Amino acid sequence: MLPETLLCLLNAGIALAQAKQQLPLNSNSQFSPSNPPNPPVFSLPTAANLTITVALCSSTNSPPKFFVTNSSSAGVPGPGGGDDVFEIAVEEGHGSWTGIFDDGGVLAVQDIGQTSFELGISDQGPIHELLSNSDLPLLGDTTSNQALIFSPAFAEEVEPRPTYPNYTLPSANSSQRSAPSGSPNFTLILSPTSSSSPLTALPQTGCMLSSQRSTGTLSSQNFWLRDTKGWRNQWLIEALTPATNYTAYVVQDRTKVSGPIHFVTKSASFACPLVFNLPYCPNVAYTVPLPQPPTTAGSNAYTALNLPDEITKPLLAYLTNFTTTLTTFACGRDWYSPIVGCDDCQREYRKWLCTITFTRCGEPSPANPRSFTSSPAPPDATGLSALHPKDPSAPPQRVFSALLPQSTDIAKARSRTLPAMGSAYAMLLPCLEVCTAVDRACPSLVGFTCPTVQFNAAASYGVGYSDSAEGEQGEGATGAAQDRWGNIWCNGG
């Protein structure tokens, strides 16, 4: 015979069990003051591995609390705890709990107040997520009032390797394939960075961020296969303010948050236009010392549609010749390496050739105006070093960008195929790693070599950023060509 109080509790539990709303599997449920959960108790489906995620969609000083149980006998879970009763910790607006729900379970929400929130129930990984730092948005480049930004890569494109006897490499004038179907919906949210930035103070959730007004005007948006990491969404944003630090987030399907990153627009006098959307040079997405593009193109940038033939023709000719030479080697038969093939060699050569052909412009960061070397490197230099130990005015471990001031004299410009821009600019040297990648991927018979200590050309690469000056991979001063704070050290291609 059960005590009477326990019987009452059990009855209350049964009554609630009948009123409970079922949260469907693999879906996201939205609640707001006009659509509150009533009662705020949900039954959960049976699953071997269920992930419950919470996202707050409004700011509040007293956030609701979320309790879950995977026990069929625990009743309504709450702060009193009990066997198999857990509280879902909510941080920066996100909460997540994963566990075994062999008998289903119950989710209860307390102290809802006027808060809007979402509940994601899934057996295929979390629905709401703050993506990790390896999945940040990627800055292409900025002008004084434009920014080219990429989402994190979302779908890898696995190309079948060509095989002997039909060893066919992509043509020099290759085109982009069509984006995978079912691609996610991406939203870019931009705001000027400030100590009271409206974005960083909010819950860092998809529903909250995507409800915010984004700065600037969207000029174009498309999917782009930039490199082997996979497809990305690409945005060109215009009408930004010169020399301004911006904060950017990318939200995927209103639920997964990537960011924040920072970037800085160039000063008002910066004259180099953006070049991007070149199928044969998919990595090029930065400013290049060219005359202003013809205004007929709609937006103020160069793409494959309005880039002069004088640039494209020699580039494709070089690439065609290289590919012809490459395929005279035993591609696909006698492997010169177990891990790389002629296809890798061609891809890395293409990236190098594009990076060299399209000289990149740059500018010292306004926050760090002296962080580049103002005196041209001597003709026998092997490249600009990330750390300038010989500069007497610089503290020894300050990192410098690989920027080289250029006069209007075209003969001194690195790339001979670019028409003169007609004004001075600063060139951001390619990272040496763009070259060493070709060296590593290509058969030694091709004869491609990168500058070493005895290199005799003028300063031509940024050295010591990703890899150390001695060539140890990942041991450089910054570990990358650019960072999430808006610093760009060298042209990573």
Ligand X SMILES: *[C@@H]1O[C@H](CO)[C@@H](O)[C@H](O)[C@H]1NC(C)=O
Interface contacts to ligand X, rule CB under 6 A: 49, 51, 70-71, 84, 98-103, 125, 166, 168, 173, 175, 184-185, 193, 245, 253, 262, 264, 312-314, 316-318, 321, 365, 367, 485-487
6 φ/ψ angles, rounded to the nearest 5 degrees: -65, -40
| SS3 label, residue 86 | strand
Closer by beta carbon to ligand X, 250 or else 316 = 316
Question: How many residues comprise the chain?
Answer: 493
CA triple 435-368-484, angle to 5 deg: 60
Nearest distance from residue 367's CB to ligand X, in Å?
A: 3
Min. distance of Cβ 173 from ligand X in angstroms? Answer: 4
By beta-carbon proximity to ligand X, the closer residue of 318 and 448 is 318
Give the bridge partners for 404, in sequence order: 427
Shortest distance in whole angstroms from residue 9 CB to ligand X: 20
Look up residue 388 and give its two tokens: 């300038």
Distance CA 12, CA 78 (A): 15
Q: Which is nearer to ligand X, 77 or 443 (CB)?
A: 77
Q: Using CA atoms, how far apart are residues 29 and 181, in angstroms rounded to an integer?
A: 25
Q: How far is the CB of 485 from ligand X (least distance, A)?
A: 4
386: amino acid identity, one letter: A
User: Which of residues 318 and 455 has its CB atom nearest to ligand X in the complex?
Assistant: 318
Q: Which is nearer to ligand X, 177 or 313 (CB)?
A: 313
Q: Which amino acid is at 457?
A: A
Residues 244 and 267: their CA atoms lie apart, in Å, by 8
- Closer to ligand X at the Cβ: 254 or 414? 254
Dihedral pair phi/psi, residue 418, rounded to 5°? -85, 135
Minimum distance from residue 101 beta carbon to ligand X (Å):
6
Provide the 8-state DSSP code for 412. Answer: G
As a whole number of angstroms, the distance between CA 186 and CA 221 comes to: 10
Question: Minimum CB separation from ligand X for residue 165, in Å?
Answer: 9
Q: Smallest distance from the beta carbon of 473 to ligand X, in angstroms?
A: 26
The span from the CA of 349 to the CA of 211, in Å, is: 43
Complex with ligand X: residue 101 or 231, whichever CB lies closer: 101
Question: What distances in angstroms separate CA 370 from CA 391, 393, 395, one per listed residue?
Answer: 12, 10, 12
